[in-house]
Structure 1
Amino acid sequence: SPQMLKRCRSKLPGMETKLGTFFAFPFLEDRFDFVATSYALHLLDDDQKLLALAECRRVLKPGGRLAIADLMFVDEAARQAHLAALARDGKNEAIAQIEDRFYADRSRLLRELAALGFAAEARQLTTYTHMIVARLK
């Protein structure tokens, strides 16, 4: 966002910044050694997530790394089991918050990363936060 770029420039005046989106980074192919995203993918639907991963892949150099920290479930079965447990406990507000966002299916992200040529590892950090670290082969 323009506001975040302004904040970045005030903290790091010598750093190059550009405005872009998950679907069109304003950089050429094979430009970066490392791409990171934290708590942004859950704002994208499942198809948009796949487009975003492909864009991250496009700008990474061979051997580059991608780190993703975001709201996820291990897979759809884990999501359904968690929502059922929340429903049994009457935690309707928590259910509404989960359904208001696009928490990722981690298994789907890992499959897509493999299809894009990444070797990836994943770890669950909290109930909802997962970390994926992937290296481009």
Structure 2
Amino acid sequence: MGREFIHTFEEWADDYDRSVSGGDLEYREVFKDYDRILDEVAENARGSVLEFGVGTGNLTQKLMKRGLDVTGIEPSEKMRRKAIEKLPQLHITDGDFLDFPIPGHKINTIVSSFAFHHLNDDEKDQAIENYSRLLPINGRIVFADTLFGSELEKKKVHHWAHINGYTHLLKDLRTEYYPLRKTLYTIFRRHHFVPYFKQLNRFAWLIVAEKNE
């Protein structure tokens, strides 16, 4: 998702829950209101759900509490173990946004949290095209992910991370593929989705895209 970042997921597995709970100052703004962000994703999901980047299972828990049937995809073995410790009943398999086992049942919603930015723009386009084939009319993609509203916003956030000495975050901003909102909008429209964007903190946005044809 992309697999080039698999070492990052493995390294984060032990500390991820602490970081998203505000325990890591450098990433505190990235994960501000994390619990509410996951609630927003879960509230917009419906039917049978395919979740990419299960991680340690935080979003999965919320989906399952809502009575939704969840199939999980996660490329990190260490993350998968963490998720299954929390949710022994979870069906989770090795895979990523582009290479995953196709479920043998109908999928109504595809979800993910803080992971889709690990694909470059061409890979994002390919992934959304694949999901358009998988989902029925009115099927949904519901992501919470990091993106920028504009090039100016991107420059301001890079400067903010630099002056605060957030070297690890700044490296992420420079090496991962945080997209522009207009780029994602174009990708979704190209593949017959009507997208809605809502900014939830300095970094994270809710994206709800419904297939209309």
Matches within 5 A, 1:49-128: 49-83=124-158, 85-86=159-160, 90-91=163-164, 93=167, 94-128=169-203
Residues 5-53 of structure 1, C-alpha deviation per residue, up to 9 Å, x if partnerless? 455555253x544332211331169931000011111212222222222
TM-score (norm 2): 0.54
Partner SS for 2:117? helix
> Which protein has greater RCO, CA pairs closer than 8 Å, 6+ apart?
1
Matched, 1:135 2:198: no
Aligned counterpart in structure 1 of residue 102 of structure 2, from 6, 10, 27: 27
Per-residue deviation at 1:97?
Answer: 3.6
Where does structure 1 lack aligned partners over 5 or more consecutive residues?
none
Question: What secondary structure does 1:21 align onto?
Answer: coil
CA displacement 1:115-135 (0-9 Å, x = unmatched): 110111101111110111011
Asked whether the 8 Å contact 1:34–1:60 carries over to 2, the reply is yes
Cα separation, 2, equivalents of 1:102 and 1:116: 20
**Could you tell me which residue of structure 2 aligns to residue 36 of structure 1?**
111
Distance, in Å, in 1 between the alignment partners of 2:163 and 2:103 is: 50
Summarize the Cα distance change of 1:65–1:100 in structure 2 as closer, same or farther, 3 Å threshold.
same
More strand by share: 1
On the 8 A contact 1:57/1:116 being kept in 2, the answer is: yes
The alignment of Structure 1 onto Structure 2 pairs a total of residues equal to 134
RMSD: 2.7
Find the residue that maps to 2:137 and give its secondary structure: strand
- Structure 1 contact 30–62 (Cα < 8 Å) conserved: no
Cα 1:31–1:7 shift into 2, 3 Å: farther
Instruction: Calculate percent identity across the aligned residue pairs.
Output: 23
Alpha-carbon distance in 1 for matches of 2:104, 2:129: 11
